[in-house]
Amino acid sequence: IADAESLKSIATVDKNGVPHVVYKGSLHINKEGNLEFYDILESSKINQNLVYAIWFGKKVAVHILTKDKKSYEITGAPLKSVTSGREFEEVYQKLLERNPKGDLNAIWTIVPENVREETFAVRVKESAEQYPVLGHLDRFV
């Protein structure tokens, strides 16, 4: 997650169950060990979906793809959205230093509940171990 070259996406759903996926370069692990990222637009779909997730106890998925093509999925629940106060101001100032025209809507925190490696070779091996009799019949002959 800390590698700037890793692709980091967050998947949410809206109240109708429509999925929405965004890439968040700001995604990182905070000092409490939770996932955290910065949302820039108050009207963003991810902001709306995360508010819905908090209100109705929905989960989100975070996906990490490393530069060496390892793939990880982290599922969890949004914990909070910081939209004011000292922490918000500190992050907002740092973002403005990088981009004077930048903005900050919220600092979102997600509590990870499950981490699973999704790298293809790992999944194939797990599948063969867990379900040894599943497969194409021509492979059993």
Name the pTM for this structure: 0.85
Mean pLDDT of the 47-69 span: 96
Region 6-32: mean pLDDT is 96
Q: Which amino acid is at 24?
A: K
What is the per-residue pLDDT for 125? 86
Tens-place pLDDT, residues 84-133: 999 999 999 999 999 888 899 999 999 999 999 999 888 888 888 887 77
